Amino acid sequence: MRHPRSLPRTAVAAAGLLLTLTACGGGFDDSTAPATQQSGPASLKLMIASSGGAELTAVQDATAKWAAASGGSKVQVIAANDLPQQLSQGFAAGSPPDVFAVDATKFQSYADEMLPYGDSVSYKDDLYPTLRTTFTKDGKLYCVPKDFSTLALAINTDQWTAAGLTDNDIPKNWDQLKAAAQKLTTGGHTGLVFNDTRDRVGAFLVQAGGWPLDADQKKATADTPQNLQGLTFVRDLLASGVAKYPKQIGAGDSGEAFGQGKAAMSVDGNWMVGGMTKDYPNVKYRVVPLPAGPAGAGTLSFTQCWGIAAKSKFQDQAKQLVDALMQPQQELAFAKTFGVMPSRQSARTQYQQEFPQQAAFLAGADSAHGPVTLTKMDPVLTDFDAQIQQLPGADPKQILKQLQTNTTAALGQ
Amino acid sequence: MTTLLTTTSTPAAPPSPARRGKGPSRREGRVGWLFLAPTLVVLALFFVLPIGMALWVSVSDWTGNGSPFSSRVHFVGGDNYAALLTEPGLTQRNFATSIRNNGYFVLFVVPLQTALALFLAMVLNQRRLKGKQFFRTAFYFPTVTSSVAISVVFLFLFSSTGTVNAALKLFGVDGPSWFADPRGVFQIVLNGLGVPKNPAALTSHGFLGLTWWDWLSGPSVAMCSIIVLVVWTTTGGFMLMFYAALQNLPPGIDEAALIDGANGWQRFWRVTLPQLRPTLFLVLTLGLIGTWQVFDQIYVLSRGAPANTTLTPAYLSYSTSFIGKEWGQGSAIAFLLFLVIVVLTLVQRWLLKEKDGKRRSRR
């Protein structure tokens, strides 16, 4: 061993050993082994997307309350700047948070890493059916929806009366919507504004009876006459100038356009109520349900659920924590702090009484369509958005044809 | 400029094994290795291992759950690369779009920042300039600030009701909605000159799923504002390199040229610039590598919007992996990007060398 080369060789061997150790031990354990469960007081990590201080504080308070009652458990609340990225990191490293918020649009790709506990909760039937559907995969409810929001139509009441419109003119269908937008479009402002993505334009597809995917999300249904009807209506609205995308009128999004009075009507979600109070307290407005399309009423729902990691060592405790967060009173407390709607129907009446201005959003709960939950559809829908942004110049038929092709490819058919 | 570390510094070649007589003694060799050991371990742990893992991921079907070396992860060969290069579809089109966008980005940023940096360095190098200290700091300042913070500032500047548009309004110009128009600037100009929106001659054929019209679009307005941002922030650093090189040039040569009757332009072009060639090479190489890896600004400002015109391979690799959870494809994009950078750096090296050879043969 006195050969001069022995040291480099030892160094290389040592480095190799080190690499092997890091690769096999520590963060990279094989996930096929089920996590051993630990009973008693737990130390839980809970990750949410940080939407602002109010939500973080509310969740911290709620978890602290549970921890105090649980006899020695601790909960660490982590507010993620980039939830999908941080969750992916956790799963890849084999150390995900025990409980985490999962956005519906990402749900399916996380399902394999989640504990499908949804069917075992006592309040399963109390959850809104559309939300249950969103988080069901292969017949199993994977996680319970923590809250939800829907889209509705906000109307600037001052501009409404100035245009000579009354309560009788509140649009109930597409024709009335177009007529009202026409009357509200003046030199100073445009009649209707909505964001230029699938998350708003999609509502018109639903109202026409369409959607890019079938109910099981197994087949592409983009190039149907229903979708064409919906998209053509959007194109016509934009082409006639009675509706505009926010960027066309110098606003970052529809909330800004509506708040600044650049648009008299806006298609927006629950979060707008809080935004208006905070940023534009002087604007007078009311919210009504979205007008029905040829296939009836339709809106979109946006939701997240409480996921539990399959790898968690404290699954029982995690379930108890989720149960605590899902108590109707707790849901109402969340609703109060950050403007979401309770996902349990038993909280509906009380919610209506406390938040009358949210009635139109809540009314949408029954006709709401959940988002696409397949992650592999993400690039397809981003491309769809890019096409939507080129309306009214683009051809709806062509857009849907491309969507159909891309969706079919993404579904692997 | 972390890229600087990863791409240009290769570990020094190990000293040749102790030779009898001249070379270091055995003991010295051993001590040398001992001193190198921490660096080697760090390099292996944080560069060699992750790169090796990424290479494996790019040819596997890893789903991002658990170890990429577990038995459930399979070798899929070139599938991930094929999806990007040979299989027509959205994946291929997005990849081609990102390459196109980044190509224009490099095409604009690298010459602009190099020329501007050289110009500023020349200005600073004037012997009679007053307040040198101030200008040096002022020019270098944008380079030190965080790219994310600067991007946020630009977000405000270029918003549709932002400062830039307000300034344009003073001149009676109705500023564009910077981050909304999905067309490229060449397309906008051509459309303005009366060329139809989608000329059939260019849209009927294409490459990698994009038509020639799309390839020739030029950067979008949004990309242009990112180009301005990046040129502004990186110029200072490169200026410093040129400045240091200029300070080191022997003044005698310049004076000799002056006596020979060379004017300012001739002295710059024929005397100063050739002497700066090593620095020029450094600046161009670093610029090329840095611009092909642009990520922070995209992530903060646009995330690919509008209509994917600010999508770059680095951001696409990130979003494909972390958001789309196609880890194999994301890594494949990263390695293709690496390939692009290596090839272009070699081309650039060859170009700069070629001139050298010609000059020498003339003598």
Helix B327-362 × helix B90-124 angle, to 10°: 40
Residue A48 near residue A77, CB atoms below 8 Å: yes
The per-residue pLDDT for A247 is 81
The per-residue pLDDT for B210 is 80
Structure tokens at B211: 């038509």
- Among the partner residues A88, A113, A382, nearest to B322 by beta-carbon distance: A88
B72 touches chain A (CB under 8 A): yes
B322 touches chain A (CB under 8 A): yes
- Among the partner residues B44, B159, B323, nearest to A84 by beta-carbon distance: B323
Q: What would the pLDDT profile of A345-389 be if each residue is shown by its tens digit?
A: 988 889 988 888 888 998 888 888 988 988 888 888 988 988 898
Cβ contact A30–B66 (<8 Å): yes
Structure tokens at B47: 């560069």
Radius of gyration for the alpha carbons in chain A, expressed in angstroms and rounded: 25
Chain B residues near residue A31 by CB distance under 8 angstroms: 65-67, 70
Measured distance between the N- and C-terminal CA atoms of chain B, rounded to whole angstroms: 39
How far is residue A21's CA from residue A8's CA, in Å, rounded to a whole number?
A: 20
A253 touches chain B (CB under 8 A): no
Cβ neighbors of B149 (< 8 A, separation 6 or more) are none
The per-residue pLDDT for A305 is 93
The per-residue pLDDT for B22 is 59
Residue B229 near residue B109, CB atoms below 8 Å: no
Cβ neighbors of B273 (< 8 A, separation 6 or more) are B280
A181's enclosing H/E stretch is helix A174-184
Cβ-based neighbour number of residue A70 at 10 Å: 18
A112 touches chain B (CB under 8 A): yes
The backbone region for B208, taken as left when phi is positive above 0, alpha when psi lies in -120 to 50, beta otherwise, is: left
Average predicted confidence (pLDDT) for chain B: 82
Cβ-based neighbour number of residue B343 at 10 Å: 10
The per-residue pLDDT for A230 is 93
B47 touches chain A (CB under 8 A): no
A113 touches chain B (CB under 8 A): yes
Cβ-based neighbour number of residue A8 at 10 Å: 19
Q: pLDDT tens, position by position, for chain B (363 residues)?
A: 344 444 444 444 455 554 455 566 788 889 999 999 999 999 999 999 999 999 999 998 887 777 788 777 888 888 889 888 888 888 888 899 999 999 999 999 999 999 999 999 988 888 777 888 888 888 888 888 888 888 888 888 887 677 888 888 888 777 666 777 777 788 888 877 877 777 777 777 778 778 888 888 888 888 888 899 899 999 999 999 999 999 888 888 888 988 988 888 888 888 888 889 889 999 999 999 999 999 988 998 888 878 788 899 999 999 888 888 888 999 999 999 999 999 998 998 888 875 554 554 444
Number of A/B CB contacts below 8 angstroms equals 120
How far is residue B122's CA from residue B246's CA, in Å, rounded to a whole number?
A: 8
Helix A396-410 × helix B90-124 angle, to 10°: 100
Does the interface ipTM go beyond 0.85? Answer: no
Q: What would the pLDDT profile of A294-351 be if each residue is shown by its tens digit?
A: 999 999 999 999 999 988 888 888 998 999 999 988 889 888 887 789 999 988 889 9
- Among the partner residues A8, A380, A389, nearest to B307 by beta-carbon distance: A389
A323 touches chain B (CB under 8 A): no
Cβ-based neighbour number of residue A228 at 10 Å: 19
B76 touches chain A (CB under 8 A): no
Nearest CA in chain B to A21: B45
Chain A residues near residue B308 by CB distance under 8 angstroms: 382-383, 386
Cβ neighbors of B26 (< 8 A, separation 6 or more) are A4, B18
How far is residue A254's CA from residue A272's CA, in Å, rounded to a whole number?
A: 9
Rounded to 5 degrees, φ, ψ at A382 are -65, -40
Q: Residue A247 class from Cβ within 10 Å (0-12 exposed, 13-18 middle, 19+ buried)?
A: buried
Point out the residues of chain A with pLDDT beneath 70: 1-34, 51, 413
How far is residue A158's CA from residue B363's CA, in Å, rounded to a whole number?
A: 83
Residue A113 near residue B65, CB atoms below 8 Å: yes
The per-residue pLDDT for B107 is 93
Q: What would the pLDDT profile of B139-182 be if each residue is shown by its tens digit?
A: 888 888 888 888 888 888 887 677 888 888 888 777 666 777 77
Radius of gyration for the alpha carbons in chain B, expressed in angstroms and rounded: 25
Nearest CA in chain B to A33: B66
Question: How far is CA A315 from each of CA A102, A233, A261, rounded to the nearest angstrom?
Answer: 17, 49, 50
Print the SS3 string covering chain A: CCCCCHHHHHHHHHHHHHHHHHHHCHHHCCCCCCCCCCCCCCEEEEEEECCCHHHHHHHHHHHHHHHHHHCCCEEEEEEECCHHHHHHHHHHHCCCCCEEEEEHHHHHHHHCCECCCHHHCCCHHHECHHHHHHCEECCEECCEEEEEEEEEEEEEHHHHHHCCCCHHHCCCEHHHHHHHHHHHCCCCCEEEECCCCHHHHHHHHHHCCCCCECCCCCCECCCCHHHHHHHHHHHHHHHCCCEECHHHHCCCCHHHHHHCCCEEEEEEECHHHHHHHHHCCCCCEEEECCCEECCECCEEEEEEEEEEECCCCCHHHHHHHHHHHCCHHHHHHHHHHHCCEECEHHHHHHHHHHCHHHHHHHHHHHCEECCCCCHHHHHHHHHHHHHHCCCCCCCHHHHHHHHHHHHHHHCCC
How far is residue A101's CA from residue A321's CA, in Å, rounded to a whole number?
A: 13
The per-residue pLDDT for A57 is 86
What does the DSSP 8-state code read for residue A153? E
Closest CA to A31 of B331, B329, B63: B63
CA distance B141 to chain A (A): 28
Residue A191 near residue A178, CB atoms below 8 Å: no
pTM exceeding 0.80: no
The per-residue pLDDT for A177 is 92
Beta pairing, strands A299-308 & A99-103: antiparallel
Structure tokens at A261: 């009075």
B291's enclosing H/E stretch is helix B277-292
Print the SS3 string covering A93-111: HCCCCCEEEEEHHHHHHHH
The backbone region for B29, taken as left when phi is positive above 0, alpha when psi lies in -120 to 50, beta otherwise, is: alpha
Chain B residues near residue A410 by CB distance under 8 angstroms: 90
- Among the partner residues B17, B49, B322, nearest to A85 by beta-carbon distance: B322
A93 touches chain B (CB under 8 A): no
Closest CA to B345 of B297, B273, B290: B290
Cβ-based neighbour number of residue A252 at 10 Å: 15
B189 touches chain A (CB under 8 A): no
Strand stretches in A36-111, DSSP E: 43-49, 74-80, 99-103
Angle at Cα A82 formed by Cα B101 and Cα A317, nearest 5°? 155
B98 touches chain A (CB under 8 A): no
Nearest CA in chain B to A87: B322
